[in-house]
Structure 1
């Protein structure tokens, strides 16, 4: 993984999560703003999948368990679409909050992927 890209992902996920939670608690239903924030997060996660495929061939292999890393990455990539699908099926303020919680969970998962990739010794 690339540290600066990880930091970008964590910042975008955290900002998206806080935005969705604030909008939801303010009574706003899912909108282009909240769904767009999660769409941006999903684009970054898809780019992370490409980076994770290419990085070992470029001399940057993970130091931790590759299986654990990929489970985190696939799970993190599935959370934003699942949150948006839920929000579009149940258009309430709480579905916007759920999108925010999903984004915050992705922020934690991305940081954990960075730890698995760089810090652990296998």
Structure 2
């Protein structure tokens, strides 16, 4: 089975087009080789997939006939992604939440509320 179809079948991508695009951009590796979407996948292959800033590491157990239900995904692949990948994404999310360059645009509603909360707390502590 083609690698783009396999990734679509085991529900890593919502459409075949997204899976094909990821392969063309070089986000998919099979046995440490960057592959085209038409590359055949066989059992025991190792797929490294970069999606949402996480490098997923998958081992192909079997090839499905067609797209499968979410509950059956574990039959066809083994996910060996290190936990550090998910923890790094969580930390990245927190760092992006409060990052905005000084002087770039007006404060958002959230920024305004944070500023108001901060000023209210400092005025109460002075009393």
User: What is the TM-score of this pair, normalised by structure 1?
Assistant: 0.26
Comparing both structures, which one devotes a greater share of its residues to strand? 2
User: What is the TM-score of this pair, normalised by structure 2?
Assistant: 0.25
Larger Rg: 2
Comparing both structures, which one devotes a greater share of its residues to helix? 1
- Using CA pairs under 8 Å that are at least 6 residues apart, name the structure with larger relative contact order, 1 or 2: 1
